[in-house]
Amino acid sequence: MGIKTIVEDNIDILVAGAGLGGTGTAYEARHWGRDKKIVIAEKANINRSGAVAQGLYAINCYMGTRWGENNPEDHVRYARIDLMGMVREDLLFDMARHVDSAVHKFEEWGLPLMRNEKTGAYQREGRWQIMIHGESYKPIVAEAATKNADKTYNRVMITHLLMDESGRNRVGGAIGFNVRTGNCHVFKSKTVVVGAGGASNIYKPRSVGEGAGRVWYAPWSSGSAYALMINAGAKMTQMENRIVLARFKDGYGPVGAYFLHLKTYTQNAYGEEYESKHFPALQKMVGKEYLDMEASHRTHRPIPTCLRNHAIIQEVAAGRGPIHMVTMHAFQDPHLEEVGWENFLGMTVGQAVLWAATDLDPKYQNPELTTSEPYVMGSHATGCGAWCSGPADVSPPEYQWGYNRMMSIEGLFGAGDAVGGTPHAFSSGSFTEGRISGKSACQYIDDGKAEGIVVSDSQIEKRKAEIFKPLETYQVGRNEIVAGTVSPSYLLPHPGLQRLQKIMDEYCGGVTVNYMTNDKLLNIGLQKLKIMEEDLEKVGAEDTHQLMRAWELKHRHRTSECVMQHTLFRKETRWPGYYYRGDAMKLDDKNWHCLTVSRRDPETGEYTLEKAPLYHLVGDMEDKALADMKKSEKKPAKKAAKAK
Amino acid sequence: MDFATTPLAAMAGSAGLQTYVVIMLALVAVMTIMDVIHKKSAKYFFEDSKKAEAKVKAGIAAGSKNCSVGFEDGRYREVSGGEKMGAAVGVVLNEVAVSGEFDSTKPLRRFVHILTMYGTILLSAATIIIAFSGTGETVSLAWNLGALMLFVGSWWFWFVYKVDVMSEGNSWTDIDLRRDMFSLSLMAVSTTALGWSIWGGAVWEILAMLAGISLFGGVYWSKFAHMFFKPFAAYDKRIKKLSGALDNLPHETRFDKSGAVVAQQRDRHSMELLKDAPMNMGLGIKREGPNHY
Amino acid sequence: MPTFVYMTRCDGCGYCVDICPSDIMHIDKKYRRAYNIEPSMCWECYSCVKACPHHAIDARGYADFAPLGHSVRTIRDEEAGTIAWRVTFRDGRVKNFLSPITTVPWGTGIPDFRNEPEPTEAERNSQLLSFEPKYIRMDDGDIATLKSQNLEMKEGVYY
Ligand SMILES: Cc1cc2nc3c(=O)[nH]c(=O)nc-3n(C[C@H](O)[C@H](O)[C@H](O)COP(=O)(O)OP(=O)(O)OC[C@H]3O[C@@H](n4cnc5c(N)ncnc54)[C@H](O)[C@@H]3O)c2cc1C
Ligand code: SF4
Ligand code: SF4
């Protein structure tokens, strides 16, 4: 085929995907491994790649122990209730105890963190969020990474991990291709840190034309992190835990600053508060432990995000939509108006464009809010990702097998969206996880765990043939037809993506079915995905750009399959508002107060699913106000007492 | 190679050469006009400038009235006849004469462009002079020098600065006739001219003639026609800058024209963090050229 | 608002091609200028818009839901350390914004660890990351542990 193969050998730490997680790894690994060979392979240009390409207006995870604001365990408790109990509390605690040290460094590097004029502390947006002028967030962390890496390969898309063939379940590097030159790139490495980000566009989006690009998570978040790990046979956790977001309609402008800082609120089309009327029925579905309006009202305890979505979905279904965000009061204050707009210009320009295009000035008109299509990612308010080992000083035995953030494959680490069970990490937490993985990878190598790795040429050749097959398929098949995109023997990536989105939407609880699914639908969906996998052998690519789209599609497909398997396994409705299992509409703590863990056998393609125990951090960590409230209750219910 | 003579010397003032030159010029004119008519580009320019004028009028009338955040006062103004003349002269001196529209962060790319352009101009002008008023030492020198400049510029461009190579990561061996017709024609014209000049002979002569035909005859399909509206575009840009239409771009900055901090901006809430910041932060990601792959 | 490129402003320099995270800014074969090859994969992240030295790139709201006649334009000035925005509504109303993008000269605050003292063996074997514990609280405080926070990990149902 005449495709050049470029081999980078003797790498110690390979960063596969350098977003917020991967940049953290490249930076930190240099501290612990002064003479280690650190190489970055990044699908786009590291200066503007990943979910933070357009910048951020907030750092959503900052404890503020420096100002006595929160302790790490407070954050764990918050994430726990927001995710209806289903989190890896060891990993969360670990992330939270380190995260501030990353943020303080960011400030030193020039990231503009706003300060509260009165207190001198960082300007809080909410309890966990601080406000920033983060247009250049990504260029800044990218420089920290490239300065400390030996080499940065931009525009190299990793398609597969390479595995050690010496008989151990161990990683040996990664392989991919350059999106520009079309060269094949082989990275032989002792460790790999996967930071390739979450998955957008696996569910049919609400806008299907040009507007399909204006998805909430970046359209280039192709689920690569998940597919790389699943295909290698790594164990995954909580993949059913997709996220649906209540966002400004069509533009998906973020609402955090609006709710928390601008103090805007929602109402239905008739100007009524609507949440409370849906909560009694919802409480019956999930139990008072998870939806305790009084506790939430009187303390810091949040109402879980999914349950608030549920209220929106119900209200709209009852014919009282659209839901509006009441901005008209807040925007009368010129400073808050400026914050409201800069919030979008700083991280979701498209929303500003939409308002300009529709002459909607939130000062005079309340914009619409809606619930999005589902997304699969593990650093926002959901915890999809790989099953990783926790820190030695915190984790129970079931959660710990050597190195912090190492997966069930030796030498394979992760950060950000790639790591399962750690929601609410966001940008700063993902960077922190990257740092933790960087240090662990160095320790793993220093302990001699990476000796004797064998990656044969035949493994490389096999992958190489696979990688470039879509180009060949197209070129040969193209002779069959006169012109156009319709061919009986190959499928182009875009129509392929639309098929995937339709399957996920209709069978796995997408937006057009109001997030509803059941065991029957899921089984049909899995069958359709199986057949689609056969068609993916016939995906065609006209050029290297389409070759990238082809591999993104394959990665999205694998991610979807895993999501579908997990959704089928967890026979309950754990997160109403994210999705519903029509055949099990209740939250079921008796059978499902556990984490779900899956593994796909790379040889057979079969999945095995199991339950993993949930450990919680308990002790002197509860919200004081909540504890007092519980105490003062006349006859505390048994369960409430447990929650203290 | 003898700079004092050209292979055209033998044909100086001949009807054959004159016809060739006239045909080439006609080809350029006809194809450019065809392009303009076909694309309605003249109409576009006309309508666009009317739109911009209307915007300026409305902007002057409105002041900051339509502006609820920041300020618009003083953004728009009438551009006087004198200023328009000045702009036209500026275009000739800057954009036309020294390719001033090129991004200043990559001076070599601009140099290569200037080399190519002046090479083409020298070579063509000298050819016309030789065809119509005979040859001589100066004009021969110009002809050879032009060919040499064009040769260096066009090949250098091809291997290094062609955007497909620089940013798209294509190999320089990657040829797409439609895309590369113009660049290839320039390379062919200069190479064959030099070859003809050095070694002479009918083969080089024919090749040189053919290269000329592909350059001028391809105007409609290559991007040559586009050259002609570059000065118009540059003029348009200058006028819009003067009038404040500015393609709708923002006009607020931290510093005024003299480089002093604008108090109005300094005291703005969002700008708090830059109150005591250095005046110049240097370059960030723009430090590096556009070739990350 | 997928992006588009103004014919009269683009000079084919390739900065947008180089930066687009979606790999959709490419050079048109005929005009040798850039254009958006796949609007439905454009996040309107403005990375290309900010990178273009000629302000040749603009965005037009997604046809799915945005009427024509608006504009949101920006100038990102690295040397001044600012980004300016101008939002023009369909009906002509305008809003102007200006905010910082860095507070120190680019890159100056970022360490190159190769020039920093090596970590000790004790640090290696601890839970600490670089610049810790100092940077956690910017004082002498240590890293949080189960013990310091009076916590334990327990299996079971807790809310
Ligand atoms: C609209 C929006 C608003 C947000 N707001 C905030 C906020 O206000 N505050 C906050 O703290 N967080 C916010 N976040 C969340 C934050 O951006 C993410 O949590 C974080 O970026 C996740 O980091 P990551 O490293 O896992 O993924 P990413 O940062 O997305 O990085 C993934 C990287 O992998 C690369 N890659 C992908 N596939 C491959 C492959 N096959 N081969 C090689 N490289 C590959 C990508 O190009 C990218 O560089 C927001 C996110 C979005 C989308
Ligand atoms: S960056 Fe601007 S001028 Fe350069 S190629 Fe892209 S659109 Fe054209
Ligand atoms: S706005 Fe972003 S996604 Fe769209 S073309 Fe520009 S860089 Fe690419």
The predicted model gives C36-59 an average pLDDT of 97
Count of A–C CB contacts within 8 Å? 314
Centre a 10 Å sphere on the Cβ of residue A91 and count the other Cβ atoms it contains.
Answer: 29
Task: Return the SS3 of A379.
Answer: coil
* Pairwise CA distance, residues C117 & A293, whole Å: 53
Touching C: which chains, 3+ CB pairs < 8 A? A, B
- pLDDT above 70 for A641: no
Residues near ligand 2 with C-beta < 6 Å?
A: C 5, 10-16, 33-34, 51-52, 54, 56-57
Domain match, C25 and C81 both: yes
Comparison of pLDDT for B106 and A455, the residue scoring more: A455
State the CATH number of the domain containing residue C51. Answer: 3.30.70.20
**Per-residue pLDDT tens over the stretch A459-479:** 999 999 999 999 999 999 999
Q: Are residues C126 and C82 in the same domain?
A: no
Proportion of chain B above pLDDT 70, given as a percent? 97
- Whether residue C112 sits in one domain with residue C38: no
- Extract the tokens encoding C57: 């790139």
Calculate mean pLDDT across residues B224-236. Answer: 79
One-letter identity of residue A545: H
Predicted confidence at residue B218, as pLDDT, reads 85
Give CA–CA dist B135/A171, Å, rounded. 74
In angstroms, how far is CA A486 from the centroid of its own chain?
34
Contact state of C130 with A80 under an 8 Å Cβ cutoff: no
Task: Give chain B's contact residues with A (Cβ, < 8 Å).
Answer: 68-69, 168-171, 269-270, 272-274, 281, 284-285, 292-293
Dist CA A572 CA A589 (whole Å) = 9
pLDDT of residue A624: 64
Q: Please indicate whether, in this complex, the C-beta atoms of C43 and A352 are within 8 angstroms of each other.
A: no
Q: How far apart are the first and last CA of chain C?
A: 43
Query: What range defines the domain where residue C20 resides?
Result: 3-105+145-158
Q: Do A220 and C43 touch (CB under 8 A)?
A: yes
Q: What is the mean pLDDT of residues A180-187?
A: 97
Regarding beta strands A151-153 and A5-16, do their DSSP bridges make them parallel or antiparallel, or are they unpaired? unpaired
The tens digit of pLDDT for each residue in A311-340 reads: 999 999 999 999 999 999 999 999 999 999
Average model confidence (pLDDT) across chain C: 95
For residue C133, whether the previous peptide bond is cis, meaning omega lies within 30 degrees of 0, is yes
For atom 5 of ligand 2, which residue has the closest CA? Answer: C12
Minimum-distance CB partner of B270 among A45, A155, A338: A338
Pair of tokens at residue C98: 């200006």
Q: Is the pLDDT of residue A1 over 80?
A: no
> What residues of chain B lie within 8 A of the CB of A139, using their CB?
284-285
Domain A457-586 coded CATH 1.20.58.100 = yes
Per mean pLDDT, which range of A257-271, A628-642, B5-19 is the poorest?
A628-642
Q: How many CB atoms lie within 10 A of CB A2?
A: 4
Burial A243-270 (b: 16+ CB within 10 A, else e): bbbbbbbbbbbbbbbbbbbbebebbbee
Instruction: List the helix and strand counts (H, then E) for chain C.
Output: 4, 8
Q: Which neighbouring-strand residues pair with A131?
A: A58
What is the Cα–Cα distance from B24 to B10, expressed in whole angstroms? 20
| C141 at B interface, C-beta within 8 A | no
Topology classification of domain A246-371: Flavocytochrome C3; Chain A, domain 1 (3.90.700)
pLDDT given at position A636: 46
Beta strands in B151-205 (DSSP E): none
Local confidence band at A630 (pLDDT 50, 70, 90 cut-offs): low
Q: Is the pLDDT of residue A638 over 60?
A: no
Distance from the alpha carbon of residue C52 to the mean position of ligand 2, in angstroms = 5
**Are residues C135 and C118 located together in one domain of the fold?**
yes
Longest Cα pair distance anywhere in chain A, in angstroms?
Answer: 80
Chain centroid, CA A445 distance in Å = 28
A363 at interface of B, judged by CB pairs closer than 8 A: yes
Note the pLDDT tens digit of each residue in A523-563.
999 999 999 999 999 999 999 999 999 999 999 999 999 99
Contact A535, A491 (CB under 8 A): yes
Instruction: Assess whether C119 and C150 both reside in one domain.
Output: no
3-class SS of residue B209: helix
Token pair 């990231």 in the structure block, residue: A111
State how far the Cα of C151 lies from the Cα of C159, in Å rounded to an integer: 15
A592 phi-psi bin (left φ>0, alpha ψ -120 to 50, beta other): alpha
pLDDT of residue B264: 85
A620 pLDDT band (50/70/90 cuts)? Answer: low
- Indicate the number of domains in chain C: 2
Enumerate residues 6+ apart whose C-beta is below 8 A from A2: none
Q: Give residue A627's pLDDT band: very low, low, confident or very high (50, 70, 90).
A: low
Quick check: A252 and A213 in contact, CB under 8 A? no
Mean of all residue pLDDT scores within chain A: 95
Asked whether the predicted pLDDT for residue B41 surpasses 90, the reply is no
For chain B, the average pLDDT equals 89
Q: Which pLDDT belongs to residue A339?
A: 95
Where along chain A do its domains lie? 246-371, 457-586
Q: What is the pLDDT of residue A623?
A: 62
Residues B165-177 pLDDT 10s: 888 888 888 888 8
C56 lies in the same domain as C89: yes
Phi-psi region of B63 (alpha: psi -120 to 50; beta: other; left: phi over 0): left
Q: Is the pLDDT of residue A137 over 70?
A: yes
How many Å lie between the centroid of ligand 3 and the Cα of residue B33? 35
The CA distance from B80 to B90, in Å, is: 15
Residues C100 and C44 in one domain: yes
CA torsion C88-C99-C45-C76 (nearest 10°) is: 90
B284 reaches C (C-beta below 8 A): yes
Question: Beta strands A5-16 and A184-194: pairing type?
Answer: parallel
**The amino acid at A13:** I
- Going by their DSSP bridges, the two strands A607-613 and A323-326 should be labelled as unpaired
Over residues C99-134, the pLDDT tens digits come to: 999 999 999 999 999 999 999 999 999 999 999 999
| Helices and strands in chain A, H and E counts | 19, 20
Closest Cα to atom 2 of ligand 3:
C45
Are C101 and C117 members of one domain? no
pLDDT at residue A633, rounded to an integer: 61
What is the pLDDT averaged over residues B77-103?
Answer: 90
Look at B269 and A338 and tell me if their CB atoms are within 8 Å. yes
Which H or E run contains C27?
A: strand C25-27
Query: How confident is the model at residue A643, as a pLDDT?
Result: 42
Q: How far apart are CA A498 and CA A423, in angstroms?
A: 28
pLDDT for position B166: 83
HSE-CB of A301 using CA atoms within 13 angstroms: 27
The burial class, CB within 10 Å (0-12 / 13-18 / 19+), for A150 is middle
Q: Which of residues 29-68 of B touch C (CB under 8 A)?
A: 58, 62, 66-68
d(CA A200, CA A336): 31
| B284 vs A contacts (CB less than 8 Å) | 136, 139, 143
| Whether residue C53 sits in one domain with residue C33 | yes
pLDDT number for residue B173: 84
**Tokens representing residue A513 in the block:** 């079915």
Query: How far apart are the C-alpha atoms of A575 and A569, rounded to whole Å?
Result: 14
Structure confidence at residue A644 (pLDDT): 37
Q: For residue A626, what pLDDT is reported?
A: 67
CA of C71 to the centre of ligand 2 (A): 19
Sole residue written with tokens 């209740």: A586
C125 and C67, same structural domain?
no
What is the mean predicted confidence (pLDDT) over B106-120? 90
The pLDDT score that the predictor gives to residue B278 is: 83
Per the annotation, the verdict on C43 as an active-site residue is yes
Pick the closest to residue C129 from A35, A102, A177 (CA basis).
A102
Is 80 exceeded by the pLDDT of residue A639? no
Q: For residue C36, how far is its CA from the centre of ligand 2 (angstroms)?
A: 11
Of C26, C58, C93, the CB nearest to B66: C93
Estimate to the nearest angstrom the gap between the alpha carbon of A206 and the chain centroid: 20
Q: Which of C6, C31, C43, C131 is catalytic?
A: C43
Kind and range of the H or E element at B133? helix B107-133
The residues that bridge with A594 in the sheet, in sequence order, are A613
CB A453 within 8 A of CB A161: no
Of all protein residues, the one whose alpha carbon is nearest to atom 29 of ligand 1 is A19
The pLDDT, as a whole number, for residue C1 is 52
Q: List C-alpha distances in Å: A441 to A307, A437, A447.
A: 39, 6, 10
Q: Lowest-confidence range among A81-90, A178-187, B272-281?
A: B272-281
* Residue pLDDT, tens place only, A480-492: 999 999 999 999 9
Asked if A32 is an interface residue toward chain B (Cβ–Cβ < 8 A), one would say: no
pLDDT at B259: 81
**C70 and C84 fall within a common domain:** yes
Are C87 and C113 part of one and the same domain?
A: no
Asked whether residue B181 carries a pLDDT value surpassing 80, the answer given is yes
| Closest CA to ligand 2's atom 1 | C52
Q: Do C82 and B233 touch (CB under 8 A)?
A: no
